[in-house]
Structure 1
Amino acid sequence: MKLIVDMNLSPRWAGWLVNAGIEAAHWSELGANNAPDSEIMTYASLNDYVVLTHDLDFSAILAATHGKKPSVVQIRADDVSPDVIGLQVIAALGQMVSELEAGALLTIDPNRTRMRLLPLTWSLD
C-alpha cells in the first residue's frame, strides 16, 4: 500500500509513514499545490495510491461518483499532527490493508475507527 498525503496535512506525515514502513509521498512532491481534489483523486486512482486527508471533500467525491477507487483515509481530529494521532493512524492502516487495497473509506478519530467498503451506498432503512 502507498499513500498520498493531502495538502491539508503536514508534509511531516510522509516521513512519519515512511519511518513506519509505509510508502508515502506528500502531494506537494507529486503535483501542483493548488490542484483540485478531483485531480488528486484521479492521480491516486491511476497510480494505485490511498489518499490520507483531513478533508471531507474526498468522501463526498466517492459518494457522488460511486467510486471504487482510490481508497481514502480521513483523519477527523482537532489536532492532526502525526505526533498526536500518528500511532493510531498507523495501527488502523495495518489492520485494514486488504480493505484499503480493495477500495474503502477509513475514518479515524481519537475515539474510534470506522471503515466502509467502496463503492459507498446509502440505505434508507
Structure 2
Amino acid sequence: MKLLLDQGLPLSAATLLRDAGIDTIHVGEIGMSEAEDADIIQRARDEGRIVATLDADFHTLLALDVAATPSVIRIRIERLRSQALTDLLLTVVAECEEDLEQGSAITVEPSRIRIRRLPFVPDV
C-alpha cells in the first residue's frame, strides 16, 4: 500500500506512516505543494499510490473523468494532528484494503466510513 498525502494534511504524518511500514510521501516533499489536483491524481496513478486528502475536489475529478484509479481517501474530520491522522489512515487502510486496491473513493467521517467503487457510474 502506497499513499500520497495532499497539502492540507500534516507533513509529519508522512514520516509517522513510513515508520509504521506504509510507503508514504507528502506533496510537500516532492515539490507539489501548489500542484493542481489533476496533477496530484496523475502522480498517484503513475506511482500506484492512494491519495489522502481533505479536499472534495478529488472525488469530483474522478467522477468527471469516469476514472477507475487512483483510489482516494477523503477525510472529513477537521484539525487532526499528525498522530491522530496516522492512526486514522492505518485503520482505514486495514479495514478497506481490498476496496483501495481495486479502486475506490472513500469518505471518512467522525462516525462512519463510506466506500464507493470506481469508476462512478451514473444512475440511469
- TM-score above 0.5, yes or no: yes
Count of residues paired in the alignment: 124
Say yes or no: does 1:19 pair with 2:3.
no
For structure 1, list consecutive stretches of 5 or more residues without a partner in the other structure.
Answer: none
Q: Distance in 1 between matches of 2:53 and 2:93?
A: 13
Query: Could you give the per-residue CA deviations for residues 30-56 of structure 1, whole angstroms, max 9, x where no partner exists?
Result: 233211010000111111010010000
Alpha-carbon distance between aligned partners in 2 of 1:99 and 1:116, rounded to the nearest angstrom: 9
**1:20 deviation in Å?**
2.2
CA separation of 1:63 and 1:17: change in aligned 2, threshold 3 A: same
Partner of 2:120: 120
Distance 1:80 1:67 in 2: 29
RMSD: 1.5
Per the normalisation by structure 1, the TM-score is 0.90
Where 1:108 maps in the other structure, the secondary structure is strand
Contact 1:5 1:27 in 2 (8 A): yes
What are the superposed Cα offsets for residues 58-101 of structure 1, whole Å, 9 maximum, x if unpaired? Answer: 00101111100011001101223233343232111112112111
Q: What is the Cα deviation at residue 21 of structure 1?
A: 1.6
TM-score normalised to structure 2 length: 0.91
1:6 Cα offset (Å): 0.4
Q: Which amino acid aligns with 2:95?
A: Q
2:2 aligned with 1:2: yes
Once residues 16 and 109 of structure 2 are traced to their aligned partners in structure 1, the CA distance between those partners, rounded to angstroms, is: 18
Moved over 4 A (4+): none
